[in-house]
Amino acid sequence: MILGGCAGGVLLILILVLAVRGLAAGRAQEKEQEEKQAQKSQEAKEPETVSLTISAAGDCTLGTDEYFYYPTSLPAKYEEEQDPGYFFQEVEPVFSKDDLTIVNMEGTLTQETARKENEVYAFKGDEEYAQILTEGSVEAANLANNHSYDYGEKSYTDTIQTLEDAGIPTFGYDRTAIVEVKGVKIGLLGTYELDTHEDCEEGMIQNIESLQEQGAQIIIASFHWGIERANIPNETQVNLAHSAIDHGADLVLGHHPHVLQGIETYKGKNIVYSLANFCFGGNSSPSDMDSMIFQQTFTLEGGKLVEDNVTNVIPVKVSSSWEQGVNDYQPVPVEGDTGEAIISRLEEYTQSMAQQYGTEPAVIHSSLDSDQDESRTETVEGTAADENPEDGTGDQEEESGS
């Protein structure tokens, strides 16, 4: 009887121990579930943050004029190198690390032979030259410029088809594009301003509204505008840029002057008035080889753009043979005194523009900043309005009307 009672007591204790353990395990599971639910609730409250970097470069003429001296032309260099990757090989490491690279495609990729009547300069290249952009990690191209129809309507549509077939979205005139990066919709539009001052603003506004209706979260407006070889924008440029931002653009990019112009900050948005030449087959020996890559990092929280955007300017020479005064059509980033001189010019033009128009000068952050003190961000005295580079020399004239 005693043994039976002991056995029963032990059994009861075991049952109690197991019950306590089960209860503890159940409570632990409940606590774990509560913690997971709390974490999910917290994540739901905190909007997702996404950052992406966009690079912009200037005029890319992937071809030549049939009347230019062929041995020094871009097609001759293409034939010599037998490698489309040659042209952007010095900047591809920059472009491949960003999220979107945009250029101005100034010219046509076509087999058309009927040159546009009364066109002083007409540019075209073979369709295979699209590989120059793909090998260089370029993802979008503006076509709204005065060389997109150099060989007629078909040369324009040929260029669109060739680039789109190569996986490069194009935009310009009444054609917009939306590129999705990291789940963010980036809207692109291009406006040709040179001889359509009245109409282009209306079309630009319509394009911005269309992109907004399509759900674009970032809108980038490109303009082909201004005066060749002028380092200060004209009043039309300033007014159009402000209008673009007033109507919803988040970044304005400019080209056509073939030289650098300053950068303005307007309502917290950046206006890059001229990116200058880049891979430019329009001149074998341009008098001004200074250029840049403009970068901006956009941050979105919960799908909405926030204002802590970061910019970076990389100084560039349009030719790796720039010291010889020869265009080898291979843009190259530059450092040291050479790079600093380009940044100084950009700052000077930025301040001169501010003095002339009362605009807010952008603070130029550059890839050289780690090696420089902060003195370059101070106001640069003097004006550069009268310091336009002289016309080019060599076998080609400085390209006009581009």
What integer pLDDT is reported at residue 7 of this predicted model? 61
Burial 239-277 (b: 16+ CB within 10 A, else e): ebbbbbbebebbbbbbbbbbbbbbbbbbeebbbbbbbbb
pLDDT digits (tens, 9 = 90+) for 29-53: 777 777 777 666 555 556 899 999 9
Residue type present at position 60: C
| E strand segments, 67-201 | 100-105, 108-109, 124-125, 140-142, 170-171, 177-181, 184-192
Average pLDDT over residues 12-38: 68
What integer pLDDT is reported at residue 398 of this predicted model? 46
What integer pLDDT is reported at residue 375 of this predicted model? 41
Residue type present at position 205: I
> Coil, strand or helix: which one is 93?
helix
Average pLDDT over residues 48-67: 98
For residue 372, pLDDT over 50 is answered with no
> Ramachandran region of residue 63, left (φ > 0), alpha (ψ -120 to 50) or beta?
left
The two three-digit tokens of residue 63, written as one number:
């071809």
pLDDT digits (tens, 9 = 90+) for 228-271: 999 999 999 999 999 999 999 999 999 999 999 999 999 999 99
Domains and CATH numbers, the chain: 49-341+347-351 (3.60.21.10)
